[in-house]
Chains A and B, each alone.
Chain A
Amino acid sequence: DAGVIQSPRHEVTEMGQEVTLRCKPISGHNSLFWYRQTMMRGLELLIYFNNNVPIDDSGMPEDRFSAKMPNASFSTLKIQPSEPRDSAVYFCASSLSGRNIQYFGAGTRLSVL
């Protein structure tokens, strides 16, 4: 299995631009998680889906952030408009529902200038 695949690995953009991060979970996994990691705030859960349905989005910082999971094999996290404080590493993880063990992608390092 290829594991969780995230793209792009690195993204540099200017303030105000739209950013879209992509994630392909492990085939057969039905839970998907988006995290943000910074030195100041550590690893924060932004949103998680179960069977393509958002279950908990309480970690989404503000309306500029949105996430979708149109099917079991694809999810996006969009930031519009982006701000310098959004600079972080964004991770996607997947798991089998109820199993708790999460498999992480390599992350997307986002820099907003």
Chain B
Amino acid sequence: SQQGEEDPQALSIQEGENATMNCSYKTSINNLQWYRQNSGRGLVHLILIRSNEREKHSGRLRVTLDTSKKSSSLLITASRAADTASYFCATGTNAGKSTFGDGTTLTVKP
């Protein structure tokens, strides 16, 4: 079974709104990553947050990590139609292997 589980499975919002996706995991991690997958394409890395970090920003992306609750959230602010994609969390270990969740499908309506 997958380590990470994203919530919700699907999210539909209007352009300009914020989108929040959550990820829960089960075991200890070294870091947690978020990826985006556009339809018919490979996954693209967005941001990595280490286990000793609580929050990280990259442009319109904000990621939080709560290791006590084994959960993370990805916030996309001021969403655009181009943000329409599936978003995956992946938990990383010291061995260099990452385990991916099932993803959240985000639809941003223009």
Contact = CB atoms under 8 A, between A and B. Distances in A.
Interface of A: 4, 31, 33, 35, 42-43, 45, 48, 50, 55-56, 91, 93, 95, 97-107
Contacts of B97: 33, 45, 48, 55-56
Nearest to B31: A100
Q: Which 9 A-B pairs have the closest CB atoms?
A: A104-B42, A100-B92, A42-B102, A104-B43, A43-B100, A98-B96, A101-B45, A106-B42, A97-B96
Interface in B3-49: 30-31, 33, 41-45, 48
B94 A45 contact: no
A7 to B, nearest CB: 14
B67 interface: no
A42 B33 contact: no
Contacts of B30: 100
A97 B98 CA distance: 12
Given A48-B97, A100-B33, A102-B98, A91 B43 contact: yes
Given A43-B88, A106-B41, A31 B102 contact: no
Interface residues on B, range: 20 to 34
B33 A101 contact: yes
Nearest to B88: A43
A9 B74 CA distance: 31
B88 A31 contact: no
Contacts of A4: 42
Interface in B93-110: 93-103
Contact of A50 (B2, B41, B96): B96
Contacts of B93: 100
A42 B99 CA distance: 12
The winner among B31, B42, B48, B101 for most chain A CB atoms within 10 A is B42
A45 B99 contact: yes
A95 B96 contact: yes
Interface in B41-77: 41-45, 48
